[in-house]
Each structure stands twice: as C-alpha cells, then as structure tokens.
Amino acid sequence: MRDEARHLVFVSGGSSGIGAALARAVPWKGARVLTLSRRPAAGLEHLAVDLAEPAGWEAAAKAFAREMAGFAGERVVFFHAAGTLTPIGFAGEVDPAAYRRNVLVNSAAPQVLGDAFLRAAHSTRARCDLVFISSGAAHSIYEGWTSYAAGKAAVDQWTRTAGAEQARRGGRCRVVAVAPGVVATAMQEEIRRSPARDFPQVLRFIELHKTGALREPDEAARDIWALLARDFPNGAVLDLRAPEGLPASPQGS
C-alpha cells in the first residue's frame, strides 16, 4: 500500500471538526491518509497520540520519519488541525492543569510537530506542504481565550519565519497557515455554552449560529485544499474570508 500511494497526507486532530473534513476532502484518488489524534477516524489509518503530552509529539515525529523516508510519490501534506479552547475563562481564574494542557496543545505541539515534519521532509524528493489551521483570534482580542489566542499567534509567526527559512534554503516544503473563519464544529458548540462571565462575547457567537453564519466543515475543507493548488509565498498566513485568500482585517474566529 505504501509503495503504491503517490500522495501521503497526515492530519492531526483528524477525528472531528475541520481535521476530519480535511481528511475526507483529499482530492487524490488512492492517497494514503494517516490521522494523528486521540480518537480514530472511521475508515482511515490512525496513530493514537495525545498532543498535550511530549510522548505524543515523539510518536508523531517517528511516524513522519518512518513514512516519509524514501517516499517516492509526488506529494506529502501535513495539516495540523488539532487544537483546544478548553478551558474557556480568564487567565488566573481557570483550572491550572487544564490551562497547561491548552498551552501544550496550542502553542508547543504545532512547533514541535512542524519541526519534525520539516526534518522528515529531507528524506523524500516529493513536494511537501505543511499547513496549520489558524484563527482570527491570533490577532483579535477575545477575553476568555487567552491561551488559545496566544497559541494561534505563535503558529502564525512560526509559519512566517519557518517559511522564510525554507525559501532561503530552497527547500521543497511550503509552510502556510490558514484561518477558516467561523465553522460549525464542536468547538463552536463549546463557545455557545460558555457563561458570559468566562466569555463576554458569547452572545455574538450565539447570534452567528442563529443566523446561519457558520460555515460547514466540509465547505471550509474544500476551500483549504483549493488554496493549496495556488501559488502563495512560503510562510503565507491566509484567511478564507478575505479576497483571494489573503490576510483580512482582524475579525471573527
């Protein structure tokens, strides 16, 4: 199976939400898709990893190295879609263990896995794309999302810098981040359940849901895949809501 596949796709957080939609929307027939998450995705290869734990990062890094070593296909793509909003609440007021877990998943894991993927890319001649799912929270203030927003800002800056490094080295790996807008996922359900004390802007997100303003995950996934067919500079931070997929004015999540 490995030798026959011309395309190899990794998806972290591939068991639900945008990650699962990206795995479903792979445009290449016969592509090998491997999800990296705590829970499996139906019908797909799965590596059980907890990305709040260094052991999970190491397992993911080993999977990249193992699967990409000598890969003779055309394309390798890694979507890092894993993320968490829990705990929603103000810094200094939430459970400290949950806060640490949020920081590890949203800030540390993307950088460690990104580094591991770029390292593994040296062992294949295939074109490689590293794609982070970002958020408008990277540049907008949402009280109650302190660690989530900081993690997304870190992802955006890591993307810009690593992309510049890849361009300087003439590397085959393109690094981009994409903010998909407000998407109908379990994360949005969690947001709408939040008390206003913990998330003062909760009514705005309840209204977005009532008015049908949320995008479906499959629609967002198709648009993200379509972006990858276009020519963007290495290190681009993109927004699906902006014209031509370019960065938009700070808004939304």
Tokens in use for 252? 């939304």
Look at residue 202 and tell me if it is in a domain: no
Q: What letter represents residue 186's amino acid?
A: A
Buried b (16+ CB within 10 A) or exposed e, 183-208: bbbebbeebeebeeebbebbeebeeb
Look at residue 2 and tell me if it is in a domain: no
Contact 12, 81 (CB under 8 A): yes
Residue 248 is predicted with a pLDDT of 43
Residue 93 is predicted with a pLDDT of 98
Give the sign of the dihedral formed by CA 176, CA 242, CA 9, CA 215. Answer: positive
Residue 5 is predicted with a pLDDT of 86
Residue 42 is predicted with a pLDDT of 79
How far is 30 from 43, CA to CA, in rounded Å?
13
How far is 1 from 45, CA to CA, in rounded Å?
12
DSSP string, 32-92: EEEEEESS--TTSEEEE--TTSHHHHHHHHHHHHHHHTT--SSEEEEEE-----PSPS-TT
Task: Write out the residue range of the structural domain in which residue 36 sits.
Answer: 7-181+216-242
Q: Which of 163, 184, 193 is nearest to 253 (CA)?
A: 184
Task: Read off the DSSP letter of residue 94.
Answer: S
What Cα–Cα distance (Å) separates residue 200 from each residue in 48, 143, 243, 246?
35, 7, 30, 29
Domain count, the chain: 1
Look at residue 207 and tell me if it is in a domain: no
Angle between helices 146-169 and 109-121 (to 10 degrees): 20
Q: Give the helix/strand (H/E) hosting 206.
A: helix 202-210
Look at residue 249 and tell me if it is in a domain: no
Residue 1 is predicted with a pLDDT of 39
Residue 252 is predicted with a pLDDT of 40
Q: Which of 83, 101, 95, 78 is nearest to 8 (CA)?
A: 78
Look at residue 76 and tell me if it is in a domain: yes
Look at residue 201 and tell me if it is in a domain: no
Q: What is the CATH number of the domain that holds 54?
A: 3.40.50.720
Look at residue 109 and tell me if it is in a domain: yes
Prediction pTM value: 0.93
Q: Which stretches of the chain drop beneath a pLDDT of 50?
A: 1-3, 248-253
Tens digits of residue pLDDT in 112-165: 999 999 999 999 999 999 999 999 999 999 999 999 999 999 999 999 999 999
Look at residue 220 and tell me if it is in a domain: yes
